Amino acid sequence: MWTPPEELVEQLGLDAGSPRLIEALTHSSFAAERGAVSNERLEFLGDAVVDLAVADLLVTRYPELDEGAASLVRSHVVNEAALAEVARGLDLGGAVRLGRGERRHGGADRPGLLADAFEAVVAAIYLDRGYDAARDFVQAHLGPVIDGARHRPAAVDPKTRLRQWAEANGRGTPTYRVASEGPPHATVFTAEVTVGADTVRGEPAPSRRAAEALAAEAAWEARDA
């Protein structure tokens, strides 16, 4: 029976023979070749656990961040590139079971695959050891990334930075339009910001303020595109 690398098992705090850990380390390409269960369902669950653990840390450790800034910091942390980098530190690429073609084409270092694997192993920790263990694991590995992201000027006040840049460059004052959808207890907001002749749409967020902050960040990143 295949077992994961011993060093990884120790870092995760799971049993080497844990069916959930083995599932978490099984890519769909391997599953298709061998008739195994892939990590796609665990990745779906892990995505939610990672998001909650990061939000938990932001609220408890950084009370000075309002919801807009906190949402922006989270967007810098819970994304493919950041999660893939953490996965590389755990050497998940070397531990994930890949199909022959996927491994031959460099899948072991593909950011999307690594990020999904990280979320899948978080789900395995959550299911085997509970939320507290999964939260502590996520925060231990993403805490330094969060701390770095919160010091970025954009994370503190993206709307102010965008406004100052726009006015200094003759683009006028940015204007925002926010749309919402969903039931009252789970409303999702999406904002568009217009800067001069350009309109940029941000990622969905749980509040109007957070949506505007994400739209401002998207416009900032797109200003030189």
Q: Which residues are catalytic?
A: 47, 119
Closest Cα to residue 115, out of 53, 39, 58?
39
- What is the distance between the alpha carbons of residues 132 and 143, in angstroms, rounded to a whole number? 15
Instruction: Provide DSSP, the chain.
Output: -----HHHHHHHT--TT-HHHHHHTB-HHHHHHHT---SHHHHHHHHHHHHHHHHHHHHHH-TTS-HHHHHHHHHHHSSHHHHHHHHHHTTHHHHSB--HHHHHTTGGG-HHHHHHHHHHHHHHHHHHH-HHHHHHHHHHHHHHHHHHHHTSHHHH-HHHHHHHHHHHTT----EEEEEEES-GGG-EEEEEEEETTEEEE---BSSHHHHHHHHHHHHHHHTT-
